[in-house]
Structure 1
Amino acid sequence: MFYKIARKILSFFLRLFFRIEVNGLDNIPMDDRLIICANHGSNWDPVLISIAFPKQIHWMAKKELFKNKVLSFILLKLGAFPVDRQDSDITAVKNALRVLKANKILGIFPEGTRVDSPDLSNTKAGISLLAIKSKSLILPIYIKRTYKVFNKVNINIGDPIDLSDNFNKKLNNEEYLNISKDILKSIYALGELNP
């Protein structure tokens, strides 16, 4: 209930200030385990994706956001959970797998932080590991925006990425990383749409 109310309020206000255009809604699989992976250049990104998406997204968010008690309360109510970006955060991985095994939607930024331009060296291997261990589809999303008032924001949703060929394989970290890099390439390819 809290999520739905917050989503409606934020949607109303953001659509006053930005011309939000969502492309590819028909690419969203409605009945599969799903990980949303998007580019990340602003703190507004998870909010915009959430108001454009028909189902609740449980975002992995940097642990620093949870230090403020009020913000932490709101984020937890919205279904977000903390992740330590500087360390192998086993608790965050377990939380992510729990979300997926409950057939809920997980939201992740593959680069782990905000970036101004594509850089595959920022890719984290954990994205593909989570998808393969949970047998989930990946949904690539690219947000094209400047976040200047009244400017257009394009949210481009790509075709789901199926990693089922890897579900029964024993992969090493380098192989997971290479798969994650391919996912990131798919995300940035969507940036070429709607110039």
Structure 2
Amino acid sequence: MYKFISGLLKLIIIKMSKSLEVQGKENIPQLHRYLVTCTHESYNEVIMLGIAIYPNQIHYMAKKELFNNKWFGKFLTSLNAFPVDRENPGPSTLKKPIKLLKENKTVGIFPTGQRMKYNEGAPMKRGAVTIALMAEAPILPAAYVGPNKIKGLVTGKAVIKFGEPIETKNLPKTMKRNEKLEYLTKELERKTIQLQSELNEYMNNKN
């Protein structure tokens, strides 16, 4: 299902309507074993990010409430999404994405944990960096600028930009776990803000 829908959307959005531009493709790791993050203002980022990385498939973490409906839950599962309990996160929340990364698959997470306008003051949760650190997988930061409504996927113009991956394996052994998490969180915040700023400037210059 993922392959069919992604291939169809790529044909419509990139080939036919040319509504998505992808920058920084050279930063996407050749191996599929990485965690990709992105700014998150709407559900459009979920779709566009998947298309930008296709044919590699993203396994998205999604709030468990979306799986309450049996049939919709099955549909999401067919698209590689898996449920997480945002209200009561625990050790079990980390097991699935870590297992996927160790199986050389790509995991997608929106670090702010909810749809919101990203800026320098937006809180970035530690879930993404915790998972990447425990799986010893690189983090691929990305930012999105474009329409927030579904119809804009075809009628609008959007850009996704990937930054250089953040390595998690080569941190000094003298650093404690909390220090590593703090460093990686700040590094992810810094790169995300930089990518968003560059995209905003790019879009302003185009207009």
TM-score (norm 1): 0.88
Q: Which runs of 5 or more structure 1 residues have no equivalent in the other structure?
A: none
Give the Cα–Cα distance (whole angstroms) in 2 for the partners of residues 121 and 57 of structure 1: 24
- How far did residue 177 of structure 1 move? 4.1
Change (3 A) 1:179 1:4: same
Query: Is residue 2:172 matched to residue 1:171?
Result: no
Contact kept? 1:61, 1:81, Cα under 8 Å = yes
Contact map agreement 1:57 1:105 (CA 8 A) in 2: yes
In 2, the alpha carbon distance for the partners of 1:7 and 1:158 equals 23
The offset of 1:17, in angstroms, is 6.0
Question: In the TM superposition, what are the counterparts of 1:12-161 in structure 2 within 5 Å?
Answer: 12-15=11-14, 19-31=19-31, 33-54=33-54, 55-120=56-121, 122-147=123-148, 149=152, 150-161=155-166
- State the alpha-carbon separation in 2 of the partners of residues 68 and 177 from structure 1: 37
Q: CA deviation at 1:21?
A: 0.5
What TM-score, normalized by structure 2, do the two folds share?
0.84
Identity rate, percent: 33
TM-aligned CA deviation for residue 128 of structure 1: 1.4
Q: Give the AA of the match of 1:40.
A: H
CA RMSD of aligned residues (A): 2.1
- What runs of 5+ residues in structure 2 fail to find an aligned partner? none
Tell whether the 8 Å contact from 1:18 to 1:151 is kept in structure 2 after alignment: no
Q: Kindly indicate whether the alpha-carbon contact (under 8 Å) linking 1:20 and 1:152 is maintained by their aligned counterparts in 2.
A: yes
**CA distance change for structure 1 residues 68 and 13 in 2, over 3 Å: closer, same or farther?**
farther
Shift in Å at residue 63 of structure 1? 1.1
Which residue identity is paired with 2:41?
G
